[in-house]
Structure 1
Amino acid sequence: MCGRITQTRALEEYGRAVGWTEEEIRRRDIGGYRPEFNAAPGVPHLILRNVDDQPTIEMVAWRWLSGWAKKEGIAPAINAKREKLLGGYYRSLMKTGRVIVPADGWYEWTAEKSHKQPWYIKAKNDTPLFFAGLTNHFPDQEDEESTGFVIVTDDAAGGMVDIHGRRPVALSAEDARTWMDMTVTYEQAEQIARQMALGPDCFEWFKVSTDVNRASNHDAHLIEPI
C-alpha cells in the first residue's frame, strides 16, 4: 500500500534528478504546486512524463476510476498491483499512460497499543525517489471525475513487510526514464517494474509523529524521527 507520500523539493530538482535539463523541461498546470510533507490521494500532485518526446512536469489528481469501477460503484483506486499490470484492467494505461511520481518518501502505518503508528520510509542517501505510475490524463484533453494517476506497488520484502505488506515500485533514474519511454512496449515496462525496483537495502524507515494521521497537517516535523 502507498497511501501518503511526500514531495518536498522544488519541482526542478525532480527533473534534474531524473536526468532532464532545465532547458528541455516543459511545465504544465503546476501553478498550484507547493512542497507537501503529507500528500494525500484525491488531489493533484506532481508527475513526470514524456509528452510527444518532450520531458514534462505537471500536476494530476492522485486517483483513477476505471469505467468498470465507476459502473460498479467502486471507489477510485490510488495504487495498481504490479502483478496485474499485464491484465486487461491496466493494459491501456500501460500502453499509453506510464508516468513517474517523484517523491522523497512515503508513510505506512502499524497498529500499536490500540492506535495507528505512522512510519516514514525514504532513501538511505536522501535522494529523490521515482515511483512507477499510470495515468489516464492526457494533456490538452479535458479531465473528468475519473481522471488521475495511480502508483504501482509490489510485495514488500527484506524486513519492510514488518511495516506493510506492499510498497511502491521505486526505480533508478535510468529505469524511470525507460518506464516513461512510450517506444518501450508495455511488456518490457512490466519487466522493469518486476525486476528493477529498488530493494529494501536502499531504504530506511522510522516512527514519526501521529500528526501524520490527519491529512490536513503539512508541517516539516512530520518526517522527523521520534
Structure 2
Amino acid sequence: MCGRTACTLGPDEVCRSCSVRTVGKDGKKQYQAPQWRDHPGDHTYRPSTNIAPTRYTPVMISEHHVRGVKRENEGSELPSQCIIQPMLWGLIPPFYKGENATGHGYSTTNCRLEDIEEKKSYKPSLVKGQRCVVLCDGFYEWQSTKGNKNKQPYFIHAPQPEGVKIWDRSTWDVKGVWSEEEGWKGPKLLKMAGIFSIWMSAEGGEVMSYSVVTKASEGKFTSLHHRVPAILNTDQEVQDWLDFGHVNYRTALSHLAKGQPDLEWYPVSTQVNNSRNQEPELNHPIDLDKKPPQSASSQLMSNWLKMGSGRVKKEEKSGNIKEKEVKKENGKDDEVKEENVKEEPGSSDK
C-alpha cells in the first residue's frame, strides 16, 4: 500500500495542476506553475494508467535541492519555489554500493510513518531534508477485508471539481483549462508525502528515487484497506512538508499523523492486476453487478461442457451407462492472477 498508481497528464499539465496563487513585487496576484526539470540521464516520465514500482513518475521537491535553478517569479510571497521532475519509484538506500540502481533487494516502495525514523534506509533522507511530494491521478488498491481470493481492485483519487471525471479527459481538456489569472481547472491530483534519496552509480550517473509515506487508515477507508498514503490536502500542507529549512522533520512527521485524507474510490477492471497491461481504460469505473464479457477460451470451455453434459444425460436416459459425473471447470482466463497483485509492496515495512 500503495503499490500501483496512475498519472496520465503530460509534464506541462502536471506542473499547471500544481499552480499556486502568488503575489509579485508589483502586488499583482496570479497563479504560478512550478518548473519542470528532466531527470539527469535518460530517465523519462511516460504518462500511464498503470504505473508500477521502478517506473519514473513526477515528484515535487524544493528548489533548494537543485543547483542552478533560476526563479521565474523572484520576489513572490512564497518563501520557496518548487521543482517537479521524474524520480524512480522505490528509494535506493544510501548505503547501497551495487552497480544496478534497482538491484539492492530492499522493499522501499513505501515507508511506514510509525517507524520511519528507525530505518537506516530512510533516516538519512529525513536528516538531509529530502522530503518530496509524489504526484498522481490516484492509486489502485485491492480490497483486503473480504478474504484473499479474487480481490477486487479499486481506483482511489481526490474529490474532483464539478463536471471533471478523473478517467475522462474529454470532461476537462478544453481551451482555458489553465491561465495565470484563474489557475488550473482540470483534474485535482493526489499529493502524497514522500522522501527521496540521491544515488551515484560507479560511472558517476545520478539516480533520484523516492518512497511513499503510509500510515494506518481510519474511518470509511478501513473497509478497503488498513493502510493509506499520507496525503497532503492543501497548498499549505505541501509547503510545510517541502520547507525543510523552516519545518524540521519531526514536526513535519507529526503533521502527517494528524487527520485522514478526503478520498473517493470506485471499482476497476482486474486487467490492472498485471502491470504489463497499459490500456488507457484501466482507470475507468466498472459495474460490479454486470458480469464481464467471457474470454474466447472460457467461452469455448463453457460450450464444450454444455455439450458434454447433454451427451451424458442422453446416454443415461438410454441406459447405455449406469453412472457418470460431470465436473464443471473454471476457465483460467477468468481468474485474477494474484501473483500480480501486491497488497502492500514494502513488506519489510509492514
* TM-score category, normalised to shorter length: 0.7 to 0.9
State the identity as a percent. Answer: 27
CA distance in 2 between counterparts of 1:100 and 1:206 reads: 24
TM-superposed CA distance for 1:75, in Å, is 2.7
| Structure 2 residue corresponding to 1:194, chosen from 253, 257, 261 | 257
CA distance in 1 between counterparts of 2:38 and 2:242 reads: 17
TM-superposed CA distance for 1:151, in Å, is 0.3
CA distance in 2 between counterparts of 1:187 and 1:75 reads: 25
TM-score scaled by structure 2? 0.56
Match of 1:171, SS? coil
Match of 2:67 in 1: none
> Structure 1 unaligned runs (5+)?
none
CA distance in 2 between counterparts of 1:70 and 1:81 reads: 24
Query: Measured at CA, do residues 148 and 177 of structure 1 come closer, stay the same or move farther in structure 2, by a change above 3 Å?
Result: same
Query: In the alignment, is the contact (CA less than 8 A) between 1:132 and 1:179 conserved in 2?
Result: yes
Query: In the alignment, is the contact (CA less than 8 A) between 1:123 and 1:204 conserved in 2?
Result: yes
2:198 counterpart of 1:137: yes
Match of 1:174 in 2: 236
Deviations 1:147-194 (CA, angstroms, capped at 9, x unpaired):
521000011111212211111111023211221112121112112211
Query: Measured at CA, do residues 217 and 112 of structure 1 come closer, stay the same or move farther in structure 2, by a change above 3 Å?
Result: farther
2:269 counterpart of 1:209: yes
| Structure 2 residue corresponding to 1:121, chosen from 109, 134, 156 | 156
CA distance in 2 between counterparts of 1:69 and 1:155 reads: 29
CA distance in 2 between counterparts of 1:137 and 1:69 reads: 11
- Choose between structure 1 and 2: higher strand proportion: 1
CA distance in 1 between counterparts of 2:132 and 2:273 reads: 27
TM-superposed CA distance for 1:33, in Å, is 2.3
CA distance in 2 between counterparts of 1:49 and 1:81 reads: 20
CA distance in 1 between counterparts of 2:256 and 2:268 reads: 29
Aligned-residue CA RMSD (Å): 2.8
> Structure 2 unaligned runs (5+)?
21-31, 65-79, 99-103, 161-186, 287-350
Match of 1:218, SS? coil
Match of 1:56 in 2: 83
Q: How many corresponding residue pairs?
A: 218
TM-score scaled by structure 1? 0.84
Query: In the alignment, is the contact (CA less than 8 A) between 1:18 and 1:177 conserved in 2?
Result: no
Match of 2:117, SS? coil
CA distance in 2 between counterparts of 1:103 and 1:60 reads: 13
CA distance in 1 between counterparts of 2:148 and 2:194 reads: 34
Match of 2:55 in 1: 43
CA distance in 2 between counterparts of 1:6 and 1:204 reads: 15
Query: In the alignment, is the contact (CA less than 8 A) between 1:175 and 1:196 conserved in 2?
Result: no
| Structure 2 residue corresponding to 1:25, chosen from 21, 35, 42 | 35
Query: Measured at CA, do residues 175 and 188 of structure 1 come closer, stay the same or move farther in structure 2, by a change above 3 Å?
Result: same
Paired letter, 1:32: T
CA distance in 1 between counterparts of 2:135 and 2:209 reads: 15
Deviations 1:12-60 (CA, angstroms, capped at 9, x unpaired):
33333333524x5141228722222111001211111013255211111
Match of 1:137, SS? strand
TM-superposed CA distance for 1:135, in Å, is 0.5
